[in-house]
Amino acid sequence: MLELTWYGNATLRIRSKDTTLVLDPFLSRNPALPRFDSTVLSGIDGILVTHGHFDHTADLPWLVRRAGGVPVHAAEDLARHLTTSRDLARHDVQAVTLGEPLAVGDMTLTALRARHVHLDLRLKLSTLLRMACPTRWNTLRQAPSLLREHARCPEVSCTAWVIDDGDQTLVHLGSLGLDSEGRYPERPDILALPLQGNTHIVDLGVQVVARLRPRTVVVHHIDDAFPPLSRTIDPGPFVHRVTTRWADTRVIVPCHGVPFVCG
């Protein structure tokens, strides 16, 4: 049975009987939130990355060194980008062909094509308005550096990771979007679902659940990890919509740093 731990943003640690992976590791830019404890990286077997945005890749060079040189697994085009623009050596990054299973310890990993959520105009305008609010001025000074990081870290491509330990199947999305023609596992045991990046994020999340019909949904990307560009998301409306429509689907809102299982 897989053990999961959420460390803010889209960062998850996935642990099976013999193998430990970390997905989309990121050091929060919000001092009011718990920091990602880099000791979590001790003894891990690999890092998985879903796409190239800064809150998924900007900290990789330091984190790889801290983890003792474990491989970063990424889709082929993203892997090339990481080795040419993110200060990672070629031996640090393992390119993965979409759809081809990869064995890491007792886990089987498969990268599938996904899509990034659409950052809609209404969301962008509301972000600008929040930045102008006096209560947010203490975070406004971070905006230029975050925008520079964002410019240096294009999406490149977006991947869904499927992780199977022989007992459970987990689908991890780093952004809330599926490929319209993509083929994904039916009724996965666990869906790790991000709820950030669109004004209608609850509706979009429900659509993904309707398509995959997971037994358990674990929400993430709900914290204000890089203000003023991010925001805190209330998962309550999403939880209500899903559990009302599908009584057999469980939704977990994880606590930072607290391990849990989805039995």
Residue 239 in tokens: 């939880």
Structure confidence at residue 235 (pLDDT):
98
What is the identity of the amino acid at 42? S
Q: How does DSSP assign 3-69, residue by residue?
A: EEEE-STT-EEEE-SS-EEEES----S-TTSPP--GGGGTT--EEE----SHHHHTTHHHHHHHTTS
Structure confidence at residue 176 (pLDDT):
97
Structure confidence at residue 68 (pLDDT):
87
Q: How far apart are CA 230 and CA 119, in angstroms?
A: 12
Residue 263 in tokens: 């039995």
At 236, which helix (H) or strand (E)?
Answer: helix 236-245
pLDDT in tens, the chain (263 residues): 999 999 999 999 999 999 999 999 998 788 888 887 778 888 899 999 999 999 999 999 999 988 888 999 999 999 999 998 777 889 999 999 999 999 999 999 999 999 999 988 887 777 777 766 655 556 666 777 777 887 788 999 999 999 999 999 999 999 999 999 999 999 999 999 999 999 999 999 999 999 999 999 999 999 999 888 888 999 999 999 999 999 999 999 999 999 999 97
**Residue 93 DSSP SS3:** strand
Using an 8 Å Cβ cutoff, are 50 and 135 in contact? no
- Superfamily designation of domain 3-261: Ribonuclease Z/Hydroxyacylglutathione hydrolase-like (3.60.15.10)
Structure confidence at residue 134 (pLDDT):
52
Alpha helix stretches (DSSP H) within 95-229: 121-131, 137-140, 143-152, 201-212
What is the identity of the amino acid at 14? I
pTM: 0.93
Structure confidence at residue 135 (pLDDT):
56
At 79, which helix (H) or strand (E)?
Answer: helix 76-85
Task: State how far Cα 139 lies from the chain centre.
Answer: 23
Residue 102 in tokens: 């990869």
The pLDDT tens digits for 206-244 are 999 999 999 999 999 999 998 888 889 999 999 999 999
- Cα separation values, 106 from 11, 166, 262, Å: 21, 8, 18
Q: How far apart are CA 51 and CA 114, in angstroms?
A: 10
Residue ranges of the domains in the chain?
3-261
Using an 8 Å Cβ cutoff, are 190 and 171 in contact? yes
Residue 114 DSSP symbol: B
Structure confidence at residue 131 (pLDDT):
67
